[in-house]
Amino acid sequence: MVYESVPGFCREFLFYKRNVQNLSQKTVDQYYLDMKLFFQWLADENGIKSPSVEIPSDGRFVHVEIVKKLTFGDLLNYLNYTTSELDNHARARARKISSLRGFFKYLQKNNIIDENPALNLEVPKMPKELPVHLNLFEAKKLLESIDGKNFSRNYCIITLFLNCGMRLSELAGMNIGDIDFDRESVIVRGKGNKERRLHLNAMCIDAIQEYMKDRYSETHIKGGAEKALFLSRNGNRLSNRMIQTMIKTFIEKSGLDPEKYSTHKLRHTAATLMYQNGVDVRVLQAVLGHANLGTTQIYTHIGDEQVDKAIENNPLDTLDIHKKIKQKHK
């Protein structure tokens, strides 16, 4: 992406994010969409016309001098616009605020502006949403629903999701050389292309080995896909979209709701099952590849049913202490 709909000094910010801070292309593209909207709003507010008659205003032509004069109040007006005109919810506004804070911090760091108007912009508080996940019975149902021509491949993919908690992009990007059967592990590349090594349990190793027998029988592997672990029937690396479509098919087949459960929910499932079976939250952070512990701590939720059961099974409940105290105070 060339980021042509923003001014040159904003493009430099985006290149900085991608090439210096090493953010993923997907993350930088999201920054671009946020900044594109912001500069379009600035163009509208300042009556900046486009040379094209067909386009009444154009964010590309916002001069840096306009940005230098922006105040905290101006940014609040922009956020009010995203709420009142675009009906942005708290999560969308939070992302836009994060983009603005990063942009103005970059400008100040590079002496393009003296004062940072976004310094005191606060991210709106959002209600914590517990991660949706399959329980153990539902995970088994999903695995049992897998069949068809690509059984070994599809079974292997879903097994890795449910056991290792990989991201979709991590699984799709796996190469044969990433697997170390001697060490019973695999290397995955997460956000920012950071590598981490994940343990492969017996179920995962067995699934990979069974799939590899079928993979090596393929004779039509396309150039560039030789290293890829998971291949399409056309001999190309299996894409994110193809994996999502496949998983949706078996979620439906297993009788689960495809609107509720997605590929990412399988990652939630792995994380939740690991935590519920005694994995420490800091270990879970390393497994999932989270930069911040706070992101992982959402998995420390325990379902209401489990809370009820835990309290019900408190050994104090069996001692009839409450009855004795009640009798004493009569």
Cβ partners under 8 Å of residue 252, min gap 6 = 258
Q: Which one is catalytic: 18, 133, 237, 267?
A: 267
Based on the residue annotation, tell me whether 63 is a catalytic residue of this protein: no
Structure tokens at 149: 């021509």
136-307: CATH topology: hpI Integrase; Chain A (1.10.443)
pLDDT at 52: 61
Q: Which one is catalytic: 11, 95, 264, 301?
A: 264
Rounded to an integer, what distance in angstroms lies between the CA atom of residue 170 and that of residue 193?
Answer: 9
Based on the residue annotation, tell me whether 299 is a catalytic residue of this protein: yes
pLDDT at 57: 67
**pTM, to two decimals:** 0.64
Q: Which of 216, 219, 218, 180 is nearest to 200 (CA)?
A: 180
Whether residue 96 contacts residue 88, with contact meaning beta carbons closer than 8 Å, is answered with yes
Based on the residue annotation, tell me whether 290 is a catalytic residue of this protein: yes
Based on the residue annotation, tell me whether 196 is a catalytic residue of this protein: no
Q: Which one is catalytic: 153, 167, 237, 265?
A: 167
pLDDT averaged per 10 residues in sequence order, the chain, 330 residues: 88 94 88 94 86 68 94 95 89 92 96 94 76 86 90 93 89 93 89 83 91 77 82 88 94 90 88 82 81 73 46 46 43
Rounded to an integer, what distance in angstroms lies between the CA atom of residue 162 and that of residue 180?
Answer: 19
Based on the residue annotation, tell me whether 267 is a catalytic residue of this protein: yes
pLDDT at 267: 87
Q: Which one is catalytic: 105, 191, 248, 301?
A: 191
Other C-beta atoms closer than 10 Å to the C-beta of 253 total: 16
pLDDT at 156: 94
In the chain, CATH 1.10.443.10 sits at 136-307
Alpha-carbon dihedral sign for residues 122, 126, 130, 132: negative
Based on the residue annotation, tell me whether 91 is a catalytic residue of this protein: no
pLDDT at 77: 95
The owner of tokens 């499932």 is 269
Whether residue 42 contacts residue 62, with contact meaning beta carbons closer than 8 Å, is answered with yes
Pairing of strands 179-180, 195-199: unpaired
* The Cα angle at residue 78 between residues 74 and 81, in degrees rounded to 5: 140
